[in-house]
Chain A
Amino acid sequence: MIKLVKVCKSFNSQKVLDNLDLEIEPEKITVIIGRSGGGKSVLLKHIIGLIRPDSGQVFIDGIDIASLSDKKLNETRKKFGMLFQDAALFDSMTVGENVAFPLKEHTVLSKKEIDEIVNKKLLQVGLKNVTHKMSSELSGGMRKRVGLARAIVLDPKIILFDEPTTGLDPIMCESINNLIVNTQQLTKATFVVISHDIESTFNIAHKVAMLYHGKIIEIGTSDEIRSSNNPIVKRFIK
């Protein structure tokens, strides 16, 4: 269970999150929408403790991670997988080593087993014969998919996706969306997805939350959001 209570965050004098309250249902896909530069990535980084709030609490399974020590935070983070907006692949490693990294760190699997899982996950995101490429040799869309494979490789309980389909062609977009839905059905993990693609948002989301001026101004099922009376929401989803 993820719950943010009265979270405030400013950078210098710029208020990005302003008394934000958000409760994310477990074992569901929640999609966060909002304007570019509106603080979606910042919100996601609060959930995994990369950014600490100026005030307020971030509860993960009942523990307030905003006030946790680094060592305890490390433990909590084992429940998480995260895809960064720009993939954040380790550029000193190959694609295969990137995806294998969480497995090597946190499991005792043999090299052969790890290789198998890595290939399977890469196949799931539509990548073949790239394990030995350096991650700096990939296209933007390929990097994103490798990042996706790395985020889901440990089958974590909570997965955060920062714009998983931005920069992909329509066909790849659809297959990534399918992957997200299927993986979620299979693992029953909690998914938090940031998306700019309104149409696919409504297709994959159990819940949609709209971030506006540092607050969640509306949260509900796809249908509820579609028929919302809030003029800001209306304008955003057209």
Chain B
Amino acid sequence: MIRFFEFAGRPFIAIVEECGRIMLLLFSAIVWMFRPPFRFRVILKQMEFVGVNSLTVVLITGAFTGMVFALQSYHGFRMFGGESLVGATVALGMTRELGPVFTALMVTGRAGSAMAAELGTMRVTEQIDALSTMSVNPIQFLIVPRIIAGIVMLPVLTIISDFIGIVGGYFVGVKLLKINSGIFMSRITELVEFEDIYNGLAKAVCFGLIFTLIGCYKGFYTSGGAEGVGRATTESVVFSSVTILISDYFLTSVMF
């Protein structure tokens, strides 16, 4: 009987342990964030990497998400003559859910995995140790700028995604499905509150923290050579994505 609990409990304990270590890393990252020197150039470089370089993929996913959402909701609403609500539905869906979540998932796949791979390689080739020997704290030099970049850039990307998604919805709704443009727009302004956008961006801030923290954690504590780096990269994407989706549920239940 005890054996059974030991056996069943082991993965659970492993997860709790891992979360503990992630929290410890977050804690030291916060401490080092407020100690000089402040590395603005490194931060800007990471912002470019997370933000600017993700722009194309965010634009494409955002546009098509809005478009398919308009198409689907049009077919639904038409059954009871509610086509005029298509615009508002797309706008609410994008700002509250699809914008933040899809952007976070895409950026996790692109930038989060790259962070895990880069830090993992630096770990197994002793570059992180080399930083320490030069009296440069690796958490401050490597992890703090990445977390800041994630927290700042993900909301920015989310706004862009929200906007382009609504534009995509407008294109499908008004241009292809011939919904009246005036009604389409007025319903959006009627039903979408500032709070919807704001809450969506708050989510994006959380997701930005999650994917950078997990990507850095997995990379920073890599062991086992090239194979270990591969494992860290995969695990970081899976773990981040799952955590983003789970936390999205709880954030939503608190916010709306």
Contact = CB atoms under 8 A, between A and B. Distances in A.
Contacts of B121: 91
Contacts of B186: none
Interface in B96-123: 118, 121-122
B238 to A, nearest CB: 26
B181 interface: no
Interface stretch (A80-88, A171-179, A180-188): A80-88
A74 B129 contact: no
B135 A88 contact: no
Interface string A77-120: 11011101010111110000000011001100000000000000
Nearest to A147: B130
Contacts of B129: 45, 50, 84, 88
A88 B125 contact: yes
B137 A74 contact: yes
A84 B137 contact: no
Interface in B116-167: 118, 121-122, 125-127, 129-130, 132-137
Contacts of A90: 122, 127, 130
Contacts of B130: 82, 84, 88-90
Contacts of B126: 84, 86, 88
Q: How large is the interface on B (under 10, 10 to 19, 20 to 34, 35 or more residues)?
A: 10 to 19
A75 to B, nearest CB: 7
Contacts of A48: 133
A102 B135 CA distance: 9
Q: SS class of chain B's interface: helix, strand, loop or mixed?
A: helix
Nearest to B35: A71
A50 B127 contact: no
A149 to B, nearest CB: 13
Contacts of A50: 129, 132-133
Given A82-B130, A84-B130, A91 B125 contact: yes
Contacts of A86: 125-126
Nearest to B45: A92
Contacts of A199: none
Interface residues of A, number: 22
B125 A77 contact: no
Contacts of B125: 86, 88, 91
Contacts of B122: 90
A81 B130 CA distance: 10
A105 B37 CA distance: 9
Contact of A105 (B118, B127, B132, B136): B136
Contact of B127 (A70, A91, A102, A106): A91
Contact of A77 (B118, B127, B132): B132
Interface string A37-78: 000000001001010000000000000000000100011011
A101 B134 contact: yes
A42 to B, nearest CB: 12
A105 B133 contact: no
A44 to B, nearest CB: 10
Contact of A82 (B127, B133, B136, B137): B133
Contacts of A91: 121, 125, 127
Contacts of B132: 50, 77
A92 B127 CA distance: 10
Nearest to B31: A71
Nearest to B134: A102
Closest 6 CB pairs of A and B: A88-B130, A88-B126, A82-B133, A77-B135, A74-B135, A78-B135
21 contacts: A50-B129, A50-B132, A77-B133, A77-B134, A77-B135, A81-B133, A84-B129, A84-B130, A86-B126, A88-B125, A88-B126, A88-B129, A89-B127, A89-B130, A90-B127, A90-B130, A91-B121, A91-B127, A92-B118, A102-B134, A106-B134
